[in-house]
Amino acid sequence: MSITDINGSWKVSGHENFEAFLKEAGIPQEHWEHMKTGSAKYTVTQDGDSVTLVEADTDGAHTATNTFKLGQEFDKKGIDGKTRKATITFSGGVLTITVPDMGNGKKGVFTKQPSGDTMTETFSMGSVSGKLIYKKA
């Protein structure tokens, strides 16, 4: 399995404990419904040991482009426009994003694991964890 297996457009098809996570993250409630039903587009390219990950809403309203080296901390821009320190690894078909401080003093860990036309994103922050399930759009 390659890191580029997450390439493409994905639409949220289900979630577990996502509202608790959004609350813990301090996301205003008026944004919750869009986040629970939204679409995301991920584009991954590799050039030597550098990886570029583009994350975007499929409506184009929010986009973040980050170039990094796997396993090395860097300043990751989120689609919320905020920049946080992060380390991204890829092992066993799983992309893991670790953010030591999500801006609220809590560590966030996000994993993305594609399997055919489904991708499962597992997340945790503080004592809250859950999942987003995506289907290839």
pLDDT tens-place values along the chain, 137 residues long? 788 888 888 888 889 998 898 888 877 787 777 777 777 788 888 888 899 988 887 677 788 899 999 999 999 998 778 899 999 999 999 999 999 998 889 999 999 999 999 999 999 998 999 999 988 88
pLDDT, residue 116, reads 92
Q: Which residues contact 34 (CB under 8 A, 6 or more apart)?
A: none
The pLDDT score that the predictor gives to residue 47 is 85
Please give the Cα distance from 72 to 88 (Å, whole number).
7
pLDDT of residue 133: 92
What are the strands, taking DSSP E only, across 36-117?
39-47, 50-57, 63-69, 74-77, 83-91, 94-99, 108-115
Q: In what order do the strands lie in the sheet with 108-115?
A: 63-69, 50-57, 39-47, 8-16, 128-136, 118-125, 108-115, 94-99, 83-91, 74-77
In this prediction, residue 55 carries a pLDDT of 84
- What pLDDT score was predicted for residue 41? 82
Residue 22 has what pLDDT?
82
CB-based burial of residue 86 (10 Å sphere; 0-12 exposed, 13-18 middle, 19+ buried)? buried
Report the CATH fold assignment for 3-136.
Lipocalin (2.40.128)
| Residues in contact with 2: Cβ distance below 8 Å, sequence separation at least 6, in sequence order | none
